[in-house]
Structure 1
Amino acid sequence: MFNTKFLAVFFAILTVSASIFGQLPPSDKGPAQPQIFPLAELKEGMRGTATTVFRGTKPEEFNVEILGVIPNWIGPKQDMIVGKLSGGQADRTFVFAGMSGSPVFINGRLVGAISYSFPFAKEPICGITPIEQMISQVVSPTTAKTFSREPRTYSYAELLSNNWRPSLTGNASQSSRASGFAPDSRLMAVAGQTFQPIATPLAISGLSQRTIDMFAADFAAVGIMPVAASGGGSAITPMKKIGPTTLLGGDSVVVHLARGDIEIAAAGTVTMRDGDKIYGFGHPFFSLGSTSLPMSESHVVTVVPNANNSFKLAVPDALVGSMTQDRATGIYGKLGDAPKMIPVKVRLKTSRGQIEETNFESGIDDTLTALIVSAGVGNVLAAQERGLGETTIELTGEIKIKGEDSIRIQRRFAGQQAVALASSAAAIPLAALLRGSFEGLEVSSINLEMNSTDGSKTATVERISLDRNQVRAGETVEVTVASRSDSGRLFVQKVPLTIPKDAAPGAMTIAIGDGGAVQQNSAITQFTPRTAAELIATINRLKRPDRLYAVLTRTTVGTIIGSSEMPNLPPSMLATMNNDRSAGGSKATVQTIVSEMELPAFEFVVSGQQTLSIEVVR
């Protein structure tokens, strides 16, 4: 009787407990860190297995034989393991682009990530980054990105440039990872005789082949291989709920540079998941350090065998987190961590009168963001406008910055290079802004409007003339500006130019020229903004290379200190600044701007410069 009642109560308690625990949410931390195989215990001849995805989403095993260890190959106290692959699909593909990060196990313990290869190798020899080094290199994801305390100096020529190219070669090795060697390298004779980080395949959609070709060399310099350009972009979807099977070791992973109507995603392999922490690649992506780029699951269409460099075609799937670190021994990401993106809208009125709109999001990085925006703008034009022949493009827009004034963009380009030049119009000020590393800077959005017409509407300033050579202070002189188009048509503008009331008697120079030419004549060629607001204000005040300006100058004795012009200095001060006991810090100047004005725009993009002298009399 007692036993029956006891058992009944006992089972009732079990039932209630099961019900309660069954309602508790499952742990979202995922699998714990696998057991590590210490590098010190690794011996030549040991055999293990590695996993990677060859097709679909399921990792497949193949064999790895340890050939030895090269001390300090990756860097100081950063060794590299040398292995040989065999079995399974590895016999067909060898080491391929996108295999970076594939985990290697010996007796169930994690050794490291397949990450290096020999270009043009006849056997599947690989370099393996020890997992201990991958873990030790990671900086805490909560560590805020450090900002430059020292102000940076900018040149006006840089900001007024019509053509911008990214500087992505800082972490490139002696030969290109993607092709095996650089075209101009003296090491071409021994190409393939040194380990290279496995190239990272860049899955691209929404960009035309013409646009990809424009930027392929920049990506190839750092081992990024554009491998696909198919169809349109993908929809921007919310983050997927993280589960215990999200991005495990051996799974295919992609890091997004852009998503939306334009999709740019670099594919690699997960080495290890430790809770919500993801380790991958085994070598740097771009060596960005602390960053924040979207990280997604992916599926592999196929691995394409190639005599130069086999590669995998990977398609991004659901967003699951962000890559927060990009270091010498690999990348680090965090599941569930939503990255910040910059919304970009590009609207084009084509030469046929149609309206085309492209919307995408760009990852935020000091170097890559401007490149992505430039590629996006160039792609809209390349997809809709002529590839050969002359075009005129008018571009307006703004770069919105949280808590600051917007950067205003208003440019016109004409000629056979109009598409390439227009793609840099937003990239140049954006790159300058991000390069400043101003604390708290947040780009909210980028909106651009473009109008394209066939034909080149360009003209050159041919001559200028004055209605008189002498004028009193406060009076207005009429300047006649004659410009000739490429077709030979002559256009004449009448420009009233008022002499300042406080202008001293004497000779002055009137220059009529485009913004670039006028700026080149300026004594101040550089400036050093202390804040983002100063830089934004300077960019918005820049003279446009596609517009004409009238500048009135006179000869004075002065100097420039920093970005400040100090005209009409007394001889005693000049003598003090130019004494024999000091040098540098200042630059003598003999031209001072008395007044300047922007000429009204007309249908042609006018360039060139002409000057005349005028005398101010009492």
Structure 2
Amino acid sequence: MFARILGLTVTAAAVTAPAAVAADPIVPLAQIHRGMECTARTVVQGTEITTFGVEVIDVLDDVNGSGPRILVRVSGDAVAGSGIASGFSGSPVYCAGADGAVGNAGAVSATIGQYGNDVGLVTPIEQMLGLPAKPPSGAKRAPRAVRASVRPLTAPLTVAGLSPALGRLLERSGRARGRALVAAPVGPLGSFAPQELVPGAAMGAAYSTGAVAASAIGTVTYRDGNVVYGFGHQFDAAGRRSLVLQDAYVFTVVGHPFDLPSMTSYKLAAPGHALGTVTNDAAAAVVGAVGERAPTIPVVVNVRDEDRGRTVRQRTEVADEVDVGDPLGHGLLPAIAPIAVAQAVTTAFEGAPARESGRLCLRVTLRESRAPLRFCNRYVVNASDTEGVPGLALAMANDVTSALAAVDATDFKALHVTGVQADVRIARGLRLATIRSVKGPRTVRRGGKARLTLRVREVRGPLRTVRLTVRIPRDAPLGRQTLNLAGRTLDAVDGGETITIMIGGEDDTASSGGAQSLREVRARFLATARYDGLRARIGKARWRAGAVAELRIDGRGALPVRVTR
């Protein structure tokens, strides 16, 4: 199981300094009343903004302590098959004010769980802009039925760039952790031009871009100059942020008439171009600035397929929030980087053979350290029931999670990761051999070397000879003894292997306490490295005997020896 934590590339477009966009006029909540006919804007296919009708049912003085809301019913072709879907959050609602001028009244932000999803709530525009929202005289508190059934249009985390099998596994893991997650295509065939983030346009708040693009997608509500307001509700409720602000491409709206927690209508959309920085995740809005690029950490994965002689190289950029205090309580790197490694390995295999062998070398560079953190592990995997995901991908991602969690969990200071590189080699079949016999000298000397000859049987292969030089410990017992050798067996991966979504949930890495020094960080990181060579024993003396470069050796062998001084 992934320890503790969570193709084509959507290329981030080079963004020049954007032209300032004039703010729309607003209609104060005090001027909204029952029976008003208004219009909302959103994207239901591609990037084109469309409209749908909004009828004001009533104005509610308070909804579950979140302040006043406008109760509305929606209609029109854009919502006919789905009602109010996830991804509609932030859709701006335009109404005529007391003077007859049309202005922005707020954002669609919630449903009430009724069949058809055509009744929902609108967050007043004043709340989104941080202004006092004064309800009209006579506004009533929300009825108990509404308070009990209101469901904010929580934006699912859309992850693009995954294989279908890995996407299904990730969705299942998200459900287990209570996090809505949708695996989406990477984008339309070819590409689409960068979009202006104007009211009604699709927008994304991204954890990562590139080969693995993870983003919450909603709708722009309001824009004032280069400042963009959207969603109409919180995303992670984390306050100050440093995520990537994006546009998005909507494939379609997937309708579900029953608005249930596990089954709800949603926009199937792909994150698009990096256009700026999400700076605030407030209670009533997600706020960003166009043109200011969010800092990111490059994650580069190189996978060499030794059977085919081909290399897959993928690059993912992960939002770096360390300088805003990691508002989720942990960084995003331990959640996204393992998925990037798993996806690159899956892409290289083009399938999920049961027997797989490979090697992972992970390198992490830090601003605070001249020497990089690095380890290499070998894997020989016999996977079963992994639902189409290579067992090697899961085993490697597991180790990446553990290593990066060690870097993330620090108490003495915040560390700045400047880059992550995973160099992977994969092969089909088990590069494993079992010991059949051991030959060597009958007399060995404490502190000396013994040259051993092992006859081993490769899995479904021939017998072969392996030579190994073993140093005898200085504390080995004297006299007639037995030199015992033991190898390492397969790495077992089965259908219970999954991806735990750390984002937005509890971080159980904190329970063990963070590292107190850079030396401790390095030690915890290196604890992920595993010795998979032969182990030797003479009496109570135990030591590492060495490894064979091209094979993992399994099984046991014994050689009678006489130990001298």
TM-score (ref. length: structure 2): 0.69
For residues 591-617 of structure 1, give each alpha carbon's deviation from its aligned partner in whole angstroms, at most 9, with x where no partner exists. xxx9854723343345789999x9999
Contact 1:205–1:232 (Cα < 8 Å) also in 2: no
Deviation of the 1:121 alpha carbon = 2.3
Task: Classify the secondary structure of the residue corresponding to 2:149.
Answer: coil
5+ residue gaps, structure 1: 1-25, 138-192, 518-524, 555-593
Equivalent residue for 2:416, pick from 431, 434, 442:
442
Residue equivalent to 2:54: 63
Q: Which residue of 1 aligns with 2:499?
A: none
Cα pair 1:50 1:64 within 8 Å, conserved: no
Task: Note the 1:103-252 alignment, pairs <5 A.
Answer: 103-106=92-95, 107=97, 108-118=102-112, 121-136=115-130, 194-200=149-155, 205-220=160-175, 221-228=178-185, 246-252=196-202
Output the amino acid matched with 1:273. R
1:322-337 aligned at under 5 Å gives the runs 322-337=277-292
| Cross-structure match for 2:324 | none
> How many pairs align?
479
* 1:89 to 1:59, Cα distance in 2 relative to 1, 3 A: closer
Structure 1 residues 494 and 393, CA, compared in 2 at 3 Å: closer, same or farther?
A: closer
Taking only aligned residues, the RMSD between alpha carbons, in angstroms, comes to: 4.7
Match in the other structure for 1:364? 320
2:340 matches 1:376: yes
Identical residues among aligned pairs (%): 24
Q: Does 1:296 align with 2:243?
A: no
Alpha-carbon offset, residue 124 of structure 1: 0.4
5 Å-filtered alignment, 1:408-487, equals 408-414=374-380, 415-416=382-383, 417-436=391-410, 439-458=413-432, 487=460
Question: Is 1:91 the counterpart of 2:80 in the alignment?
Answer: yes
**Residue 216 of structure 1, CA deviation:** 1.6
Q: 2:220 is aligned with what amino acid?
A: V
Query: SS at 1:603's partner residue?
Result: coil
The SS at the match of 1:122 is: coil
Please list every run of 5 or more consecutive structure 2 residues that lacks an aligned counterpart in the other structure: 1-16, 132-147, 258-262, 322-329, 384-390, 492-510
Judge conservation of contact 1:514–1:545 (CA < 8 Å) in 2: no
Instruction: Please state if 1:388 is matched with 2:337.
Output: no
The residue number in structure 1 matching 2:44 is: 54
Matched-pair contact (CA < 8 Å) for 1:552–1:596: no
Task: Supply the distance in 2 between the matched residues of 1:514 and 1:527 (Cα, whole angstroms).
Answer: 31
Aligned residue identity for 1:333: G
Amino acid paired to 2:339: A
CA spacing shift, 1:437–1:196, aligned 2, 3 Å = farther
The equivalent residue for 2:13 is none
How far apart are 1:269 and its partner, in Å?
0.2
Query: Aligned-pair distance for 1:492?
Result: 7.0
Deviation at 1:113, TM superposition (A): 2.1
- AA of the residue aligned to 2:198: L
Distance 1:302-1:481 versus aligned 2 partners, 3 A rule: same
Question: How do 1:524-543 and structure 2 match up within 5 A?
Answer: 529-540=515-526, 542-543=528-529
1:515–1:548: 8 Å Cα contact kept in structure 2? no
Counterparts of 1:256-335 in structure 2, within 5 Å, are 256-307=206-257, 309-335=264-290
**What residue in structure 2 maps to residue 579 of structure 1?**
none
Are the aligned partners of 1:100 and 1:200 in contact in 2 as well (CA < 8 Å)? yes
Letter in 1 for 2:216: A
Deviation at 1:468, TM superposition (A): 9.1
1:603 matched to 2:550? The reply is yes
Report if aligned partners of 1:346, 1:449 keep a CA contact under 8 Å in 2: yes
Match of 2:26 in 1: 35
Which position in structure 2 is the counterpart of 1:353? 309
Larger Rg: 1
1:11-30 aligned at under 5 Å gives the runs: 29-30=20-21
Q: Which moved more, 1:345-354 or 1:602-611?
A: 602-611
The answer to whether the Cα contact below 8 Å between 1:47 and 1:66 also exists between their aligned partners in 2 is: no
Partners of 1:423 and 1:482 in 2: how far apart? 34
**CA separation of 1:453 and 1:301: change in aligned 2, threshold 3 A:** closer
In structure 1, give the amino acid aligned to 2:49. Answer: K
